[in-house]
Structure 1
Amino acid sequence: MSEAPSTASGWIDEHHNGVRYGLQGDVIADEQSAIQRITVIHSHRYGNGLLLDGCWMTAEHQERHYHEPLVHPALCAARSIDRVLVIGGGDGGTARECLRHHAVKHVDLVEIDGRVVELSQKHLAAIGGGCWSDPRFQLTVGDGIAWVGEASDASYDVVLVDGSDPAGPAEGLFNRSFFQHCRRILKPGGVFATQSESPEAFRAVHIDTVRMLREVFGHADPLYGWVPMYPSGWWSWTFAASDGPRYRSPDPERAAAIGPGCDIWSPRWQAGAFEAIPASIERELSA
């Protein structure tokens, strides 16, 4: 069994490489599922939040910092957005943002742990919003790696990976075979996106992920932003396509429809976030 997060003196802490990342609050649910430890907290600053195996996943007043940058660069740039696949994302936030695009006809969400969905629906209902009852949405509790491996060629317009850190059930989301299958199941003009960790707290994983996606897809670039509750607060998402870096050029009509409802994402923010690559990382990726 995994260890519960530290909760001394009313603080809920994630420990990573000698640093604590914590919120003041109270634990409202803490259980071991068949797959991982799931902890739900109420914090005084960010509302209800979720940890998996003691690592921060999301919170009500932080989630837009993560979900908007993952979703909208991809959905504003793919040639078509009829069919979207989300791997992970059991809190519903990524699916919610996808379904804001009226051109989306179907979203498959494949989450390995059904208890994450159940506890999110109960304690983090605002994050998923109306996605759970949207007729375009289909939830499958199962292995996303197996789903991608078994899906038909060219069956999705966009593939989004909303997984946890590369350990435990999410470890297989960061390897070449998985990325190759993601490319295979994308339609022409499709876009792939994944959270790609903190370039400070998980630098090696971040660099390896970007390099591997460039090798598999031909075109891939990291986008940098911030999720204050995550290790270091500095985060990244990496986008890939086989027909050029189309993810850098949002469709004006789609952007105009989505932008007014966003807290973080806009075409201007996106352009700056793609250009905010630190010199040392740019050198390392170019080596």
Structure 2
Amino acid sequence: MTGRVFTCDHRVYDLPEPLSWEVVHTGTVPCDSYSVTFLYDRSMAEVLRLAAGFAAIYRGETMLRAIVDEYAVELGSIGLTATITGRGYAARLLDNESRPLTYQDATLAEIVRRHVTPYGIAAGEVADVRASSVYTVPAGVSQWKALEGFCRTYGGFSPRFSRDGKLLAAPEKGGGKRFSIGEGDPVLSCTLREDHYGVLTEALVIDKTRNASYSVKNEDMIQRGGQCRRVVYTPGQRTWDAMRYTGEYQIRRSKEDEKTVTLSLPGSFLAFPGDQATLRLDRMGLSGSFRVTEAANVFSAEKGASVTLTLKGG
């Protein structure tokens, strides 16, 4: 992998061959992230001080566009090394707070124009979504929350970022790669976790302004003996549909972590969030179709390359 730095004065600099690196793809929040360590000499001081952007290039393809959060220079047993770390472009929206705003009949395109575009982020996809009620951005929330809240409430999806840093404010179309992992594949490790803690049985949405409430229930978990209710307070002037969407979204999100498979394989950049994996590991009694939600790629000269996939579903 080649680490490429973009400075605030618009220079491009390819870092020396890395001693070790890690690139984590989530596509959303928590952000994509990276860390790269390489041999350092004094000629790099100005470049690192002005470093603002980063790209991970692997076999000629961009695997990540991100911001530079930090660099460190260290004198150790192998001499002088430097490490650069940072996050994906979602960080630009997380790090900036929105003003309190109220929208009437807002479109997603308008939300992107007001809350995303000013931070240097290009949109790769923007769904044709319009608010069915007044949409309020409360004081003290980030630009990410302003965008994500609109997408969740009126579109039923969460925004994402592509590997080249473009915003994907649209539902996934199932266009990710499909692959299979079975007993004959070189699985380094595999963990199955099924966690009922936090899976909601009821989401009660309350609008105190109108003195109205709407209850959405998770009948499957109720039948399995679960008892976990959340009360969500919404701003005034919500429609019944908006309240129902909010409750359904809360239950759907709580169910996402119910079954998780963590799987490690040798290699780099074998899969990305949104890809679909079919597992058949008979020794673990594990089979089914899973969605990749995170891919952590690591390399070191001592251990080589491996990728750890976090899979949900099944």
TM over 0.5: no
Structure with bigger helix share is 1
Larger Rg: 2
